[in-house]
């Protein structure tokens, strides 16, 4: 058995970026089928235009149409593309210096590996649908003939197609494999057997649940195993009434710190089977386990905690845990 438990996590969000005037102008150009550079104070044309002049630091205001033809300053081959790249088969990246520009920009190049060379002429291949984003340039491709194909590409340029671009949506999705520490893994594995396992710090002797890779007071791993009961005391709590993106429990619900009997630190869990406004600090609670066949290596094996009906714990017994 592996020393630690792990599970995939995807961190995903569609970011809404406001572009400001300079990037907005560049993206508006792409939507309308033209590549724009920005002229700097020293007379260079940079693509994409810098938001602020590298020398004077003033906002870029002078835009110049460049391309759609250009030359490859450098290139590489991607044998194993990653998700989100312009092609999901092997392809090339190129630093492309558009005609009229004084610097290159990074774009995908669609050509056979052995047909690519530094200095080759390329031209923009526009995306089928242009929305005002860098992906409006599908890639560059070898120029069919210097005038002919560039002219065709230029013809594809359309007059301004509406309002200037001011924002862009940028989906970002990353896959991770999340691992728990060995100490936490022991805890989660215990839960799969219906046991709640804590560990004592060998220095301060406090019982941590879950056990810790480092006692936060002493900086050493917790060691001696302590099996804890599934009953305890609510130290403090809040009632969550607010819905939010990614939420997995429907509000309103009570999120509480439960100090299991014999533990020196509280765990956070859900309180149910009692109206939210009757939950109290000091209330005695017990775990309600999900049916055994639904158990996994997770604290979610405990569906929630519910009141035991015992008298509330004396404030002094949990005062130090607030």
Considering only residues 187 through 226, tell me which ones interact with other proteins, judged by CB under 8 A: 188, 201, 204, 206-208, 212-221
- The answer to the question of residue 106 lying near other proteins (CB under 8 A) is yes
Query: 129, exposed or middle or buried, with CB in 10 Å at 0-12, 13-18, 19+?
Result: exposed
Q: Compute how many other C-beta atoms are within 10 angstroms of the C-beta atom of residue 137.
A: 22
- 57 dihedral zone (left: phi>0; alpha: psi -120 to 50; beta): left
Structure tokens at 123: 């031209």
Scanning 153-161, 224-232, 253-261, 306-314 for contacts with other proteins by CB under 8 A, the matching segment is 253-261
Q: Which is nearer to other proteins, 41 or 217 (CB)?
A: 217
The site map against other proteins for 116-145 (x = CB under 8 A) is --x--------------xxx----------
Scanning 61-69, 121-129, 223-231, 265-273 for contacts with other proteins by CB under 8 A, the matching segment is 265-273
Q: What is the DSSP string of 281-295?
A: TT-EEEEEEPPGGG-
CB of 144 to other proteins, least distance (A): 24
Contact between 92 and 77 (Cβ < 8 Å): yes
Among 25, 269, 283, 285, interactor with other proteins by CB under 8 A: 269
Q: Which is nearer to other proteins, 132 or 307 (CB)?
A: 132
Distance CA 229, CA 200 (A): 15
Q: Which is nearer to other proteins, 42 or 310 (CB)?
A: 42
List the beta bridge partners of residue 297.
none
List the beta bridge partners of residue 304.
288
Q: Which is nearer to other proteins, 153 or 201 (CB)?
A: 201
- The answer to the question of residue 1 lying near other proteins (CB under 8 A) is no
CB of 271 to other proteins, least distance (A): 10
Q: Which stretches does DSSP call E strand in 119-230?
A: 121-126, 137-142, 167-179, 196-200, 207-208, 224-228
The candidate with the shortest Cα–Cα distance to 142, out of 160, 158, 162, 119, is: 119
Among 64, 157, 240, 288, interactor with other proteins by CB under 8 A: 240
Q: Which is nearer to other proteins, 77 or 152 (CB)?
A: 77
Contact between 260 and 228 (Cβ < 8 Å): yes
Contact between 101 and 55 (Cβ < 8 Å): no
**CA distances to 82, 95, 105, 111, 176 from 88, in Å:** 7, 20, 21, 14, 20
- The answer to the question of residue 155 lying near other proteins (CB under 8 A) is no
Per the listing, tokens 């312009």 go with: 86
Q: How many residues bind other proteins (CB under 8 A)?
A: 122
Q: Which is nearer to other proteins, 151 or 295 (CB)?
A: 295
Scanning 78-86, 146-154, 155-163, 285-293 for contacts with other proteins by CB under 8 A, the matching segment is 78-86
CB of 280 to other proteins, least distance (A): 10
Among 41, 144, 161, 249, interactor with other proteins by CB under 8 A: 249
Among 120, 141, 142, 181, interactor with other proteins by CB under 8 A: 181
Distance CA 259, CA 257 (A): 6
Among 61, 158, 223, 236, interactor with other proteins by CB under 8 A: 236
CB of 15 to other proteins, least distance (A): 4
Among 83, 129, 250, 293, interactor with other proteins by CB under 8 A: 83
């Amino acid at each position: 058995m592996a020393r630690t438990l792990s599970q995939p996590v995807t961190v995903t969000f569609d970011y809404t970026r406001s572009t400001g005037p300079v990037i907005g102008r560049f993206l508006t150009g792409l939507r309308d089928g033209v590549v724009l550079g920005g002229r700097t104070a020293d007379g260079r044309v940079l693509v994409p235009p810098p938001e602020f002049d590298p020398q004077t630091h003033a906002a870029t205001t002078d835009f110049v149409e460049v391309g759609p033809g250009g030359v490859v300053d450098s290139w590489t081959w991607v044998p194993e593309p990653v998700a989100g790249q312009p092609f999901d088969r092997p392809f090339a990246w190129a630093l492309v210096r558009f005609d009229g520009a004084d610097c290159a920009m990074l774009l995908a190049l669609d050509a056979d590996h052995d047909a690519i060379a530094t200095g080759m002429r390329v031209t923009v291949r526009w995306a089928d649908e242009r929305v005002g984003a860098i992906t409006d340039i599908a890639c560059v491709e070898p120029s069919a003939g210097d005038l002919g194909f560039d002219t065709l590409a230029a013809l594809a340029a359309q007059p301004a197609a509406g309002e200037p671009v001011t924002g862009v949506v940028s989906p970002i999705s990353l896959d991770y494999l999340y691992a728990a520490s060995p100490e936490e893994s022991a805890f989660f594995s215990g839960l799969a057997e219906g046991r709640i396992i804590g560990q004592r710090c060998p220095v301060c002797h406090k019982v941590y649940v879950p056990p810790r890779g480092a006692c936060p007071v002493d900086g050493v791993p917790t060691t001696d195993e302590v099996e804890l009961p599934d009953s305890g005391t609510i130290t403090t709590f809040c009632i969550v009434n607010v819905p939010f993106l990614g939420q997995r429990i429907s509000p309103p619900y009570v999120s509480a710190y439960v100090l299991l009997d014999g533990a020196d630190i509280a765990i956070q869990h859900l309180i149910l089977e009692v109206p939210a406004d009757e939950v109290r600090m000091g209330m005695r609670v017990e775990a309600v386990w999900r049916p055994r066949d639904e158990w996994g290596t997770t604290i979610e094996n405990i569906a929630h905690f519910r009141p035991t009906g015992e008298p509330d714990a004396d404030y002094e017994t949990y005062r130090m845990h607030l």
